[in-house]
Amino acid sequence: MSCNDSEYSKKIIGEWECSSWIETETSRDKCGNNVYFKFENDMTYHSKIGSDDAKGVYRISDGLLYSTPEGKLEIAVEINTLNADTLTFTMSRSGNEEILTLVKKK
């Protein structure tokens, strides 16, 4: 684990809500106030995207956030920004680049 990964592992803990979810091909914002993540200190997480609830384990390595929902395969996203109040990552759904920006709940 690099220094950045160690810092990210500390900063990611908490509850996060969607600020924007941009599909870069169309510039469409898919956020709709229906995206939520909670990352715990014990490396578990809970997420809600629309009506899809998931929980599982996560890890951070080489600037990537890996999540493994219970009973499913591991997913990796590239962390662009992770500070005290903002988490932005790039992901690919069906081969299309999407950028998700989350803000930490106060």
Predicted pLDDT at 32: 82
> Can you give the pLDDT at residue 61?
96
SS3 for 34-91, per residue? CEEEEECCCCEEEEEECCEEEEEEEEEECCEEEEEECCCCCEEEEEEEECCCEEEEEE
What does the pLDDT read at residue 2?
Answer: 57
Number of separate domains in the chain: 1
| pTM of full prediction above 0.85 | yes
Q: What is the CATH number of the domain that holds 28?
A: 2.40.128.540
Q: What is the pLDDT along the chain (106 residues), one digit of tens a residue?
A: 456 899 999 999 999 999 999 999 999 898 987 899 999 999 999 999 988 999 999 999 999 999 999 999 999 999 999 999 999 999 987 788 999 999 999 8
**pLDDT recorded at residue 1:** 46
**Residue range of the domain that includes 24:** 3-104
pLDDT at 38: 98
Whether residue 105 contacts residue 15, with contact meaning beta carbons closer than 8 Å, is answered with yes
**pLDDT for the residue 94:** 77
Query: How far apart (Å, rounded) are the C-alpha atoms in residues 81 and 58?
Result: 17
Long-range (24+ apart) CB contacts under 8 A made by 3-10 are 4/63, 5/60, 5/61, 5/62, 5/63, 7/82, 8/60, 8/63, 8/65, 8/79, 8/82, 9/60
